[in-house]
Homo-oligomer: A and B are copies of this chain.
Amino acid sequence: MNIAIPIFDGLTALDAVGPYEVLSRLPGAEVRFIAATAGPIRTETGMLGLIADASFEELVDPEVIVVPGGHATRRLMGDDHILDWLRRAHQTSVWTTSVCTGSLLLASAGILEGLQATCHWRSLHILADYGGHPLSERVVEQGKVITAAGVSAGIDMALTLAARIADEQTAQAIQLSIEYDPQPPFDSGSPAKAPKEVLERVKAAGARREAAADAGSTRVDQASS
């Protein structure tokens, strides 16, 4: 089972590494991190480098596609290199999936037209601009297309996908292997649950970051965004 995770400068690391950690444990899985050019890729904070082991052209027909998100997706929504790769790979994929704002790239490639889909809560509404039907759920399955909500939702999505690819017991074994028995110390993980002042703070930080990006600044706003 060939699994491709396309990565790019400005990705959110956990979007990619959560599903990697689950799917790489499937019997027979071969996960490959690919990019426009093989080599080092930096995350949106600049603090972590991941290695793309191959270029997009070297893996055009993966059975599973997992598209992560990150600050860079706004820029990449107009990048034909990655969008053309997605369109081609989706034609033959068994599963096409995304985490967080990775669904904005699927949407830009035309893959979500007419489909229900999810995204990071801050960007969910954008899917409608591309013919998608935004759904505020953790994991949304539509045939072979599975989208996940923000960042950490990729772990839930990948366990769901692992059960589809293999079987439920295998997915449960992977869950036990990664001891995924979450016990968040706070209950602030969604806009519906977070205290109002926390929600406003994260919204404001996101708006500041986007304004800075529009002004051409490369500075990353770390203020809890």
Whether A48 is near chain B, meaning CB under 8 Å from some CB there, is yes
> What's the Cα separation between A175 and B177 when bound, in Å?
23
Contact present for B45 and A31 (CB under 8 Å) = yes
Name the CB-closest residue of B to A150: B179
Known: A173-B198, A173-B201. A179 touches B121 (CB 8 A): yes
Known: A151-B21, A185-B163. A178 touches B14 (CB 8 A): yes
Binds B, one of A58-66, A79-87, A103-111, A152-160: A152-160
Known: A180-B151, A185-B159. A31 touches B48 (CB 8 A): yes
Find the residue from A14, A190, A193, A202 having the highest chain B CB count within 10 A: A14
Binds B, one of A22-30, A88-96, A125-133, A210-218: A22-30
Whether A40 is near chain B, meaning CB under 8 Å from some CB there, is yes
Q: Which residues of B contact A26 (CB under 8 A)?
A: 222, 224
Known: A48-B20, A173-B201. A160 touches B185 (CB 8 A): yes
> What's the Cα separation between A153 and B148 when bound, in Å?
20
Whether A49 is near chain B, meaning CB under 8 Å from some CB there, is yes
Number of copies: 2
Rounded to whole Å, the gap between the CB of A189 and the closest CB of chain B is 3
Name the CB-closest residue of B to A159: B185
Find the residue from A24, A168, A188 having the highest chain B CB count within 10 A: A188
Q: Interface size bucket, A side?
A: 35 or more
Whether A207 is near chain B, meaning CB under 8 Å from some CB there, is no
Known: A48-B31, A195-B172. A179 touches B21 (CB 8 A): no
Whether A149 is near chain B, meaning CB under 8 Å from some CB there, is yes
Name the CB-closest residue of B to A166: B224
Q: Which residues of B contact A30 (CB under 8 A)?
A: 47
> What's the Cα separation between A109 and B224 when bound, in Å?
33
Contact present for B179 and A182 (CB under 8 Å) = no
Name the CB-closest residue of B to A49: B51
Known: A151-B179, A172-B188, A198-B169. A24 touches B51 (CB 8 A): no
List 9 other contacts, CB 8 Å, given A149-B181, A152-B182.
A12-B21, A24-B45, A31-B48, A149-B179, A152-B179, A153-B179, A156-B184, A176-B194, A176-B198
